Amino acid sequence: MSTSSKSPALEFEIIAKCSTTKARASILTLPHGPVLLPMFMPVATQASLKGLTPKQLARTGCNLCLNNTYHLGLKPGQDVLEKLGGAHVLQGWNGNILTDSGGFQMVSLLKLAKVTEEGVRFLSPHDGTPMLLTPEHSISLQNTIGSDIIMQLDDVIATTSPDAERMREAMERSIRWLDRCIAAHKKPATQNLFCIIQGGLDLGMRKVCCEEMARRDTPGIAIGGLSGGEDKVSYCQVVNACTNWLPQNKPRYVMGVGYPEDLLVSVALGADMFDCVWPTRTARFGNAIVPTGNLNLRHASFANDFATIEADCKCPCCRPEEDGGLGITRAYIHHVAAKETAGAHLLTMHNVHYLLSLMGRVRAAIVEDRYPEFLRAYFSKAYGGDMTRVPTWAVTALREVGVDLLNWR
């Protein structure tokens, strides 16, 4: 089977595969440079990664971030984006950008959004007038934004919805909307349209959707509709099943995933790209991501903790001064958390760096074909050496792909 693919604006090449799990290491070459997969993509919702400059973001190791179409459509608006020449120009970012379709925000942020065959009806948050987001409109907006990867408009409903009929309708409609998106896409030579697999937790529906969408041969494929409150076991089943059905030679993006454990398991199940607002959001609440979990640095116990946020971390905050870093201590973050925005900026840098470097180490482990060992070491550290504390869903999912955390070799 082919391990590479080429589209006018994208090249994808798998350079290593884990011999045990389904994990892959690959290079995704986009109009604004190559991206090493697997990768976590931080979310710069409104063309800014929460207080960080594009240079600071690049320094965390990031060269592919998200913007939200819905937010950019509201501010600064399509007209401004058109005149400026897109989101790269707007934010002074020379890396790659991925935009979502805007459909998810319509449903998650807006009350009274209603989905019809035409598109998503919603009330304008500005003045309450009824508006309609169609696949054509979404693609037109994303064409204006000029993002390197654009997403189709899909019909998103919660995976936990018990209404199988509605779920099927959403899945089938997403396929019809994909066709409309492909037809409306004006810049296939510079922007890559990814389809989004729907079908809830019903593997039968997911299979139909995978087959139908794979036939459309988009440059990349997203698995959507997850991270909406479903249990982790179902989540893993869906990802595991979809990666079996999807073509090997296309990048696979699981939307809305960002917890370290979820990332590691999803990579083992064959996914390549992820995004989530959690690392940046939790930073603003004073939480630092570290190998042993989360540290809520606002807690009084950190007032006198003069260790760096994470020992051996290479981010600008944690690196010691001798090493060109700042040597920021937990005590200092405690001192500024929720009192000065600089504290939020520092933690945002650390958290984004943490996830990107985690994925870098994941990639190195895949390339060296020691990903199972990597998984074991990570979970062991996270749970203080006691593998029985590792969540059952993770143990089960990893067992499916040949890694048994509890009975090692």
97 is a contact residue toward another protein (CB under 8 A) = no
In order of 87, 90, 188, 254, 389, the CA distances from 82 in angstroms are 9, 10, 18, 29, 52
* Residue of 125, 66, 123, 132 lying closest to 95 (CA atoms): 66
Say if residues 197 and 209 touch (Cβ distance below 8 Å): yes
349 is a contact residue toward another protein (CB under 8 A) = yes
Which of the stretches 17-25, 72-80, 169-177, 205-213 binds another protein when contact is defined by CB under 8 A? 72-80
396 is a contact residue toward another protein (CB under 8 A) = no
Give the span between the Cα atoms of 328 and 65, in whole angstroms: 25
* Residue of 108, 194, 210, 187 lying closest to 151 (CA atoms): 194
Residue 73 or 260 with smaller CB distance to another protein: 73
Give the span between the Cα atoms of 258 and 287, in whole angstroms: 14
Helix or strand or coil: residue 110?
A: coil
Which of the stretches 81-89, 154-162, 163-171, 394-402 binds another protein when contact is defined by CB under 8 A? 81-89
Residue 3 or 45 with smaller CB distance to another protein: 45
329 is a contact residue toward another protein (CB under 8 A) = yes
The one among 117, 341, 381, 406 contacting another protein by CB under 8 A: 341
Per DSSP, the residues of 218-242 read -SEEEE-S-SSS--HHHHHHHHHHH
How many of the other CB atoms lie within 10 Å of CB of 384? 9
Query: By CB under 8 A, what part of segment 298-327 binds another protein?
Result: 303-304, 306, 316-317, 321, 326-327
Both tokens of residue 336? 């500024």
Give the span between the Cα atoms of 47 and 51, in whole angstroms: 11
Residue 75 or 215 with smaller CB distance to another protein: 75
Query: By CB under 8 A, what part of segment 3-32 binds another protein?
Result: none
How many of the other CB atoms lie within 10 Å of CB of 118? 12
* Residue of 84, 95, 192 lying closest to 145 (CA atoms): 84
71 is a contact residue toward another protein (CB under 8 A) = yes
Binding-site annotation: residue ranges:
100-104, 154, 198, 225, 313, 315, 318, 350
For residues 27 to 66, the per-residue mask of contacts with another protein, x marking binding by CB under 8 A and - elsewhere, is -------------------xxxxxxxxxxx----------
Backbone angles phi, psi at 341, to 5 degrees: -65, -20
Residue 87 or 375 with smaller CB distance to another protein: 87
User: What's the min distance (Å) between Cβ of 376 and another protein?
Assistant: 35
75 is a contact residue toward another protein (CB under 8 A) = yes
User: What are 99's strand-pairing partners?
Assistant: 67, 150
Residue 83 or 361 with smaller CB distance to another protein: 83
Interface with another protein: number of residues (CB under 8 A): 47
Which residues make up the interface to another protein (CB under 8 A)?
46-56, 71, 75-76, 80, 83-84, 89-92, 111, 303-304, 306, 316-317, 321, 326-329, 331-332, 334-336, 338-346, 349
